Amino acid sequence: MAHAHADACLMADPLRLLADRLAPAFAAVAGVSADPVVRASDRADAQANGALALAKTLGRNPREVAEAVVATADLADLVATTEIAGPGFINVTFRDDALASLLAGVAAGPRLGARPAPAAETVVVDYSAPNVAKEMHVGHLRSTVIGDALVRMLEFVGHRVVRENHLGDWGTPFGMLIEHLLDLGETEASRELSVGDLDGFYKQASAKFRNDPAFADRARARVVLLQGGDPETLRLWRELVDESTRYFDQVYELLDVLLTDDDLAGESRYDPLLPEVLRRLEAAGLLAHSEGADVVWVPGFENREGEPLPLIVRKAGGGFNYATSDLACVMDRVERIGATLLLYVVGAPQAQHFQMVFSVAEMAGWLRPPARAVHVAFGSILGTDRKMLRSRSGAVLKLVDLLEEAIARADAAVRDKNPELPEERRRDVARAVGSRPVQYADLSPDQVRDYVFDWDRMLAFDGNTGPYLQYAHARIRSIFRRGELDPASVRGVRPVLGVPQERALGLALLGFDGAVADALDTFQPHRLSTYLFDLATRFTEFYEACPVLRADSDEQRASRLALCDLTARVLASGLGLLGIRAPDEM
């Protein structure tokens, strides 16, 4: 047992441990290293499928290869039985005592078994990034929520994380926005902006820009003043930025995300670096000129007509753009911050922009291994009519309204479920339940697909929802309350996996390690949601089959309580990584 226990300090996932034991055996049989391809299985605890591919390369019979691997591997302390099935699949059942030891290690160890990052890196996470004086839309909500979960998970496994809220706070629209602010008068303008009427403000400004030539001239002159650093213009610009950030902060507060004003790193911050971007591209011989603009030709990109597509870095009129600013960002993040991983949590429609920016940064030598950039893309949020999510009046949905409605609905749902809960408590729970399901609804479906936002599903207490998981956690905590027991008193107990439901729950608990790793490898927090739902389901099955407070013996009772406690801790910790609070009572 010493062997399995030593591994457990590093990681808890028996599938990973099995893969690590099988890998040398595959290598010995093959003469080269080969992936054992270990997965969870319904036939046994785990299945290793690697023999099939290996046999093909070796030109041998896959079942024979599988048998040779099993004969060679050092499995005795971890594995109870192996069986070769079908075309060389290795079905594995773990030893109960090995699982129990791993569980004891998880209960006592840090991070509930989740393995630390193999190498701690500096990671910049670019997320949320709404635009000043424009409504923050549900896409920004999704970015905020996914980014927040990634930040929490990356920190959890030991990375140094730098959060950057790349606010759209610079560029030509600010000419018209400032002129509109002056037309309205500063007091009236700031009133409109502070109540979050950002969309109306922006629309009025752009309508005037289109229809009123004198206004358009003023707006253009204002852009020149802004770029020239005119103090009065900068003061007005600041006012727009500050009023908008005040509004964004209200949304962040309701969401309980980690973002603060210290994380603001808007486009304006990179403005001073833009001439340097051009200078370096020129020096590297990458800058070309096309139709009056400065561009970089990026191999492999074409427009709809199939013609080569360049990345424009200075428009024909001389202005820099979104791409220039993102190139400056890459430079800054790698060179000043020292990041080796750059994550951009931005909607899927911007995929081409990021591919081109990253390619240019690589061509220019700013992004060199180990430094790399990843666009963490996500799909749109749709209403139940499968169209863009809108408010009832058909207007653009304001996020504060959405969140406040969610909290109100959650309050009613909690009152329904537990009328005894004191008012104060209920409000707190409603907040945890209400703003968070928006989050959970966001984190549970496949990230790159569009998803349908449905109030009823979101607040349901059953199914793969945030409230279901929060409720599962609170229910476990109530077992300890009813038994007047301190959960800490069972934390040293080594569980006994007697009946199948105990064993299944134990295996599920050990999966936390792999689930966190998987969510981080793919940058898809929803994979952790799926795991937590599975864990809660295993717990329900266990709880239906196994009396806890009225177990047969003191020993059995302590063992079951230990499983309960560990489940509650994994649920709370997993939800916490998704940015969702888990109240003790609901």
Which stretches of the chain bind ligand ARG, using CB under 6 A? 126, 129, 131, 166, 168, 326, 329, 344, 346
Using alpha carbons, list the distances in angstroms from residue 569 to 72, 152, 434, 467, 472. 38, 16, 22, 16, 11
Nearer to ligand ARG, 61 or 260 (CB): 260
Q: Supply the minimum distance, in Å, between the C-beta of residue 129 and ligand ARG.
A: 4
Q: Supply the minimum distance, in Å, between the C-beta of residue 357 and ligand ARG.
A: 8
Q: Supply the minimum distance, in Å, between the C-beta of residue 38 and ligand ARG.
A: 37
Nearer to ligand ARG, 92 or 129 (CB): 129
Distance, C-alpha 545 to centroid of its chain:
35
Which conformational region is residue 267 in: left (phi greater than 0), alpha (psi within -120 to 50 degrees), or beta? alpha
Nearer to ligand ARG, 167 or 572 (CB): 167
**If you write DSSP's letter for every residue of 475-522 in order, what string do you get?**
HHHHHHHHTT--GGGGTTPPP---SHHHHHHHHHHHTHHHHHHHHHHH
* Distance from the first to the final alpha carbon of the chain: 41
Residue 218 CB coordination number (10 Å): 19
* Closest to 245 (Cα-Cα) out of 194, 202, 205: 194
Q: Supply the minimum distance, in Å, between the C-beta of residue 126 and ligand ARG.
A: 5
Q: Supply the minimum distance, in Å, between the C-beta of residue 142 and ligand ARG.
A: 12
Distance, C-alpha 263 to centroid of its chain:
17
SS3 string of 176-229?
HHHHHHHHHCHHHHHHHHHCCCHHHHHHHHHHHHHHCHHHHHHHHHHHHHHHCC
Residue position matching structure tokens 């791409």: 323
Q: Supply the minimum distance, in Å, between the C-beta of residue 556 and ligand ARG.
A: 54
Q: Supply the minimum distance, in Å, between the C-beta of residue 448 and ligand ARG.
A: 17
Q: Supply the minimum distance, in Å, between the C-beta of residue 326 and ligand ARG.
A: 5
Nearer to ligand ARG, 262 or 291 (CB): 262
Exposure string over 165-189, b if 16+ CB within 10 A, otherwise e? bbbbbbbbbbbbbbbbbeebeeeeb
Nearer to ligand ARG, 329 or 430 (CB): 329
* Closest to 374 (Cα-Cα) out of 354, 352, 392, 404: 354
Tokens of 347: 């909607």
Tokens of 434: 């209400």
Return the amino acid letter for 423: E
Nearer to ligand ARG, 13 or 135 (CB): 135
Nearer to ligand ARG, 321 or 540 (CB): 321
Q: Supply the minimum distance, in Å, between the C-beta of residue 138 and ligand ARG.
A: 12
Q: Supply the minimum distance, in Å, between the C-beta of residue 136 and ligand ARG.
A: 9
Nearer to ligand ARG, 129 or 264 (CB): 129
Do the strands 451-452 and 160-164 form a parallel or antiparallel pair, or are they unpaired?
unpaired
Nearer to ligand ARG, 55 or 381 (CB): 381
Nearer to ligand ARG, 134 or 538 (CB): 134
Under a CB-based contact definition with an 8 Å cutoff, are residues 247 and 194 in contact? yes
